[in-house]
A and B are shown apart, each in its own frame.
Chain A
């Protein structure tokens, strides 16, 4: 099936560092979603974006809806060990039930 290109695939960072990841698509979306998934658990919705150019924060997390509607970015500031997990994006178009998912970014935080 169709997937979104998400980068980086994985990253090791030091505690306290900022993290950035992004998703790109050849299609436009009118909703972008960002999730975190811990091993053996279901994905948890972190941030939802609805408008091109929108910048939304959730605590130390900030996400942006790209102006072209074909990309989105997630930033985590001052990372902590519990930020470890897999982060993935999803794009959605209203009126469909099609969610296209990113390939995931595995984050490991070194204390």
Chain B
């Protein structure tokens, strides 16, 4: 069992569709993250939640809408996306203000926008 689980692993959607990505962590962490990874580009931080509160929104377009109902679950709601939004979306978790700073990633959700 992996510590951070993402579903679906692959998603193809049209520009007018509404879909959601789901992330669940089993590590007892309090901070959760969404990152975007595009081909040949570094990881881009999108959102950070700590104890269910959003602490970071890295100038992400409103067509991406995060939701964190509790410390173990994180969603990314997708609406009217653009083809350039096609990427690997990675969820991650870490302790809140612990000293270790270890960040654990999920397997990723590969999104293709047609």
Chain A residues close to B by CB (< 8 Å): 1, 3, 30-31, 33, 35, 40-45, 48, 50, 90, 92-95, 97-99, 101, 103-104
Contacts and interface: CB of A to CB of B under 8 A. Distances in A.
Given A42-B105, A43-B90, 9 more contacts: A1-B44, A30-B99, A41-B108, A45-B103, A50-B100, A50-B101, A97-B55, A101-B43, A103-B42
Interface in B33-92: 33, 42-45, 48, 50, 55-56, 58, 88, 90
A97 B6 CA distance: 21
Size bracket of the B interface: 20 to 34
B21 interface: no
Interface of B: 4, 6, 31, 33, 42-45, 48, 50, 55-56, 58, 88, 90, 94, 97-108, 110
27 contacts: A1-B44, A1-B58, A31-B100, A31-B101, A33-B101, A33-B102, A33-B103, A35-B105, A40-B88, A40-B108, A41-B107, A42-B6, A42-B106, A42-B108, A43-B105, A44-B105, A45-B103, A45-B104, A48-B101, A50-B101, A94-B97, A94-B99, A97-B48, A97-B50, A101-B42, A103-B42, A104-B42
Contacts of B48: 97
B95 to A, nearest CB: 10
Contact of B100 (A35, A48, A95, A98): A48
Contacts of A35: 105
A48 B99 CA distance: 12
Nearest to B98: A94
Residue picked from B33, B50, B58, B100, most chain A C-beta under 10 Å: B100
A30 B101 contact: yes
